[in-house]
């Protein structure tokens, strides 16, 4: 960014001269201007830009948040049906003094880890593991927190043979009447059914620069425009930003990110997420199972836009 | 809605499929030239090779529901175009074009009727309406169908034929997966049967929600069924897919569905199954279609 370079130049200059008073003043003025500009830029990010921020490889992933927000995390592995599911992580942890079950998609940052985590695209085993952990949480009256960050469920031969569709469907079917609170947060990419498979809850929130969509802009562009290059138009048309989803009442709350996006400041992003989790958990934990389930059902029951007149 | 459309809804008449001048059709199974009237009489199945042609929703209802017993519900629901979606064409225009072809009920017809010896609530997909894609209207109709079943103490039958969620309705179409699955959980708690019938194709968000949640799941022969479409999988793994991959028979082999059932046997199979689940005697009122 040009402004950033300008500041750098002034900083170097200030080291060369003795009378730096004026320059320091100049620097701080420019820094303020930069902050304000960044703020405005990030406030007005469009669908495709948001998608790129949401996919940024320095963005905190599930395990980064777990490490910063929870204590005593005990990871629990496997679906007990012959599958490991490396793209999904989960386990018990302490949140303040409360035991919680944390479950989320996991992407890899380094090349080898990216491959091991299958780029956050879960196999059926991942969804089945997630459900197993949710049932475990339910049995011991432990609230559930899920973190969504996936391009989508894995499209592969193996995944189909092992029932990818059934795994996703069964999760939604089962989550709707789990007897403990479920808080869902989209922390990065909310990719279609692969996201929704851990996305049914009492509170659904999105980080400010995350996205949540029925299909990726790339997929939509190639199907509806017949042109892979039309990603910007597709991202815009799909209305996949947190602001859009809040308007459509698909989510309950937007969690603010540090200036420039969560990838710029993991610590502050975690503080923001922790605050939102704490506030929501506090209200949900006092509700009876019956109340939770009834409201959760109503929440998803009411989603949709239709009329009884011909459009 | 024009008076003509209203008339059609009332009388249950479907749109005309074949123009009078077209009387031959090539079978995609065996390549034979078939006389359309003969194929239609044979429930749109090739008399030579048993290839199952795609059928319209009203045709499928006539294959399964006793004549004169079907009552349509929620036929007046239409999409509100919540995103004001526009790709190369406006979503509104796409909808209007489909209405004009005579498909005024969105991608699903839903209603009550009698299947053999059993009153049932049934929802059947209309592939000709935007590829049978599921948006708010489809999700709402299925949900209401399930709720009606709970109220009337009836089983639910859903015949799927869909490419998945309707992109033009964005996130709200995705949420229909959660909505319909939740309704089915309630049905299950009431111990009412839900039979899911999969036809060619059943993929994406439809496959990954109610279609795979049947107490019993049957598929027509040779139907493409899966989460991801074959093209997407090929692009992702960069290799050719094995012969018969994601076809009904493949799904049976992998333990994913209960059985493959020929269209002519479907009604009888469902009737017997519902009788057994209700622990009622199996009356021989339903015979295999000729
Ligand atoms: Zn044939």
pLDDT per position as a tens digit, A98-125: 999 999 999 999 999 999 999 999 999 9
User: Which pLDDT score is estimated for A311?
Assistant: 42
pLDDT digits (tens, 9 = 90+) for B66-75: 999 999 999 9
User: Which pLDDT score is estimated for B4?
Assistant: 36
Residue B189: its chain A contacts at CB < 8 A?
A: 177
- Residue pair B127/B161 in contact by the 8 Å Cβ criterion: yes
Q: CA A113 to CA A130: how far, in whole Å?
A: 20
Tell whether B286 is covered by a domain: no
Tell whether A309 is covered by a domain: no
CB contact under 8 A, B227 and A234: no
Q: What is the mean pLDDT of residues B176-180?
A: 98
Tell whether B290 is covered by a domain: no
Cα B287 off chain centre by: 22
CA distance A296 to chain B (A): 10
Structural domain including B167 reads 56-277
Buried-exposed string B180-218: b where 16+ CB fall within 10 A, e elsewhere: bbbbbbbbbeeebbbbbbbbbbbbbbbbbbbbbbbbbbb
- Residue pair B108/B49 in contact by the 8 Å Cβ criterion: no
- The DSSP letter of residue B199 is E
Q: How confident is the model at residue B271 (pLDDT cuts 50, 70, 90)?
A: very high
Residues 12-71 of B with CB under 8 A from A: none
ipTM: 0.91
CA distance A18 to chain B (A): 59
Buried-exposed string B41-79: b where 16+ CB fall within 10 A, e elsewhere: ebbbbbeeebbbbbbbbbbbbbbbbbeeebebbbbbbbb
Q: How many domains does chain B have?
A: 1
- The DSSP letter of residue A258 is -
pLDDT digits (tens, 9 = 90+) for B77-136: 999 999 999 998 999 999 999 988 888 789 999 999 999 999 999 999 999 999 999 999
Distances (CA, A) of B11 to A62, B70, B71, B72, B218: 56, 10, 10, 10, 30
Q: What is the mean pLDDT of residues B200-220?
A: 98
Q: CA B63 to CA B60: how far, in whole Å?
A: 5
User: Which pLDDT score is estimated for A29?
Assistant: 86
Q: How confident is the model at residue B8 (pLDDT cuts 50, 70, 90)?
A: very low
Q: How many domains does chain A have?
A: 1
Would strands A98-105 and A144-150 be described as parallel, antiparallel, or unpaired? Answer: parallel
Tell whether A195 is covered by a domain: yes
Task: Name residues whose C-beta falls within 8 Å of residue B273's C-beta, 6 or more positions apart in sequence.
Answer: B193, B195, B216
Using a 10 angstrom Cβ sphere, with 0-12 exposed, 13-18 middle and 19 or more buried, the burial of residue B19 is exposed
User: Which pLDDT score is estimated for B289?
Assistant: 67
Which ranges of chain A have pLDDT less than 70?
1-21, 309-311
Q: What angle do CA B236, B237, B239 make, to 5 degrees?
A: 125
User: Which pLDDT score is estimated for B245?
Assistant: 96
Residues 100-129 of B with CB under 8 A from A: 104
Tell whether A27 is covered by a domain: no
Q: DSSP strand E in chain A: where? A: 71-75, 88-95, 98-105, 144-150, 182-191, 203-207, 211-213, 253-255, 306-307
User: Which pLDDT score is estimated for B283?
Assistant: 84
Does position B232 have pLDDT exceeding 70, yes or no? yes
Name the nearest CA neighbour of A238 among B164, B136, B85, B137.
B85
Coil, strand or helix at A99? strand
Q: How confident is the model at residue B12 (pLDDT cuts 50, 70, 90)?
A: very low
Beta-bridge mates of residue B72: B111
- Residue pair B74/B105 in contact by the 8 Å Cβ criterion: no
Tell whether B87 is covered by a domain: yes
Residue B136: its chain A contacts at CB < 8 A?
A: 303-306
Task: Name residues whose C-beta falls within 8 Å of residue A40's C-beta, 6 or more positions apart in sequence.
Answer: none
Tell whether B48 is covered by a domain: no
Tell whether A31 is covered by a domain: no
User: Which pLDDT score is estimated for B104?
Assistant: 77
For residues B19 and B25, which has the higher predicted lDDT (pLDDT)? B25
Tell whether A33 is covered by a domain: no
Residue A200: its chain B contacts at CB < 8 A?
A: 178, 182
The pair of structure tokens assigned to A185 is 């947060």
Tell whether B19 is covered by a domain: no
Task: Name residues whose C-beta falls within 8 Å of residue B5's C-beta, 6 or more positions apart in sequence.
Answer: B99, B102, B104
B222 contact A CB<8A: no
pLDDT digits (tens, 9 = 90+) for B77-94: 999 999 999 998 999 999
User: Which pLDDT score is estimated for B63?
Assistant: 98
Q: How confident is the model at residue B9 (pLDDT cuts 50, 70, 90)?
A: very low
Name the nearest CA neighbour of A202 among A129, A146, A160, A155.
A146
CA distance B94 to chain A (A): 11
Calculate Rg over the CA atoms of chain A.
22
List the CATH number of the domain containing B213.
3.90.226.10
Coil, strand or helix at B216? strand
Cα B191 off chain centre by: 23
Q: DSSP strand E in chain B: where? A: 24-26, 33-35, 71-73, 78-79, 108-115, 118-125, 156-162, 194-203, 216-219, 225-226, 259-260
List the CATH number of the domain containing A77.
3.90.226.10
Structural domain including A279 reads 47-301
Does position B247 have pLDDT exceeding 70, yes or no? yes
Q: Give the predicted TM-score (pTM) of the model.
A: 0.91
Name the nearest CA neighbour of B244 among A74, A157, A4, A142.
A157
The pair of structure tokens assigned to B280 is 């009622």
CB contact under 8 A, B1 and A310: yes
């Amino acid at each position: 960014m040009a402004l950033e370079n300008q500041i750098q130049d002034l900083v170097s200059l200030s080291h060369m001269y003795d009378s730096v008073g004026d320059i320091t003043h100049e620097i701080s003025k420019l820094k303020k201007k930069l902050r304000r500009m960044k703020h405005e830029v990030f406030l007005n990010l469009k669908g495709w830009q948001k998608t790129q921020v949401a996919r940024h490889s320095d963005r905190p992933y599930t395990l980064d948040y777990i490490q910063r927000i929870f204590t005593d995390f005990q990871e629990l592995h496997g679906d007990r049906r012959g599958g490991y599911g490396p793209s999904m992580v989960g386990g018990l942890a302490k949140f303040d003094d409360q035991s919680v079950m944390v479950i989320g998609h996991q992407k890899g940052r380094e090349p080898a880890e990216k491959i091991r985590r299958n780029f956050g695209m879960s196999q059926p085993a991942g969804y089945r593991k997630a459900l197993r952990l949710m049932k475990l949480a339910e049995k011991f009256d432990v609230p559930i927190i899920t973190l969504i960050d996936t391009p989508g469920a894995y499209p592969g031969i193996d995944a189909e043979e092992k029932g990818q569709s059934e795994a996703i469907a069964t999760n939604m079917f089962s989550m709707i009447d789990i007897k403990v609170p479920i808080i869902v947060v989209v922390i990065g990419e909310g990719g279609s059914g692969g996201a929704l498979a851990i996305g049914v809850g009492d509170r659904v929130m999105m980080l400010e620069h995350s996205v949540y969509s029925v299909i990726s802009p790339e997929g939509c562009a190639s199907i509806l425009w017949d042109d892979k290059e039309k990603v910007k138009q597709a991202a815009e048309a799909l209305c996949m930003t947190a602001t859009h989803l809040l308007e459509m009442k698909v989510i309950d709350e937007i969690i603010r990110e540090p200036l420039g996006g969560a990838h710029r400041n993991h610590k502050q992003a975690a503080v923001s997420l922790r605050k939102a989790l704490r506030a929501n958990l506090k209200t949900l934990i006092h509700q009876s199972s019956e109340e939770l389930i009834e409201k959760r059902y109503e929440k998803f029951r009411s989603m949709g836009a239709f009329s009884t007149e011909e459009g | 809605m024009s008076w003509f459309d209203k008339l059609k809804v009332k009388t249950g008449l479907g749109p005309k499929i074949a123009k009078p001048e077209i009387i031959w059709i090539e079978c995609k199974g065996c390549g034979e030239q078939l006389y359309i009237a003969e194929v239609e009489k044979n429930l749109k199945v090739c008399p030579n090779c048993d290839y199952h042609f795609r059928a319209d929703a009203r045709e499928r209802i006539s294959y399964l529901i006793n004549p004169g017993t079907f009552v349509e519900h929620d036929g007046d629901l239409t999409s509100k175009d919540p995103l004001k979606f526009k790709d190369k064409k406006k979503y509104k225009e796409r909808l209007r074009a489909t209405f004009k072809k005579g498909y005024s009920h969105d991608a699903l017809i839903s209603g009550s009727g009698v299947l053999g010896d059993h009153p049932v609530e049934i929802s059947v997909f209309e592939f000709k309406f935007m590829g049978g894609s599921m948006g708010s209207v489809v999700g709402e109709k299925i949900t209401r169908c399930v709720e009606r079943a709970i109220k009337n103490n009836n089983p639910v039958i859903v015949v799927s034929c869909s490419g998945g969620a309707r992109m033009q309705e964005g996130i709200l179409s995705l949420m229909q997966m959660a909505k319909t699955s939740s309704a089915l959980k309630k049905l299950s708690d009431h111990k009412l049967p839900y039979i899911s019938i999969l036809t060619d194709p059943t993929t994406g968000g439809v496959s990954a929600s109610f279609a795979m949640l049947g107490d019993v799941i049957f598929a027509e022969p040779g139907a493409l069924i899966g989460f991801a479409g074959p093209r997407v999988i090929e692009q992702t793994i960069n290799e050719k897919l094995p012969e018969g991959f994601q076809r009904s028979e493949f799904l049976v082999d992998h333990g994913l569905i209960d059985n493959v059932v020929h269209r002519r046997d479907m009604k009888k199979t469902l009737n017997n199954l519902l009788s057994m689940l209700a622990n009622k005697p199996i009356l021989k009122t339903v015979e295999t279609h000729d």
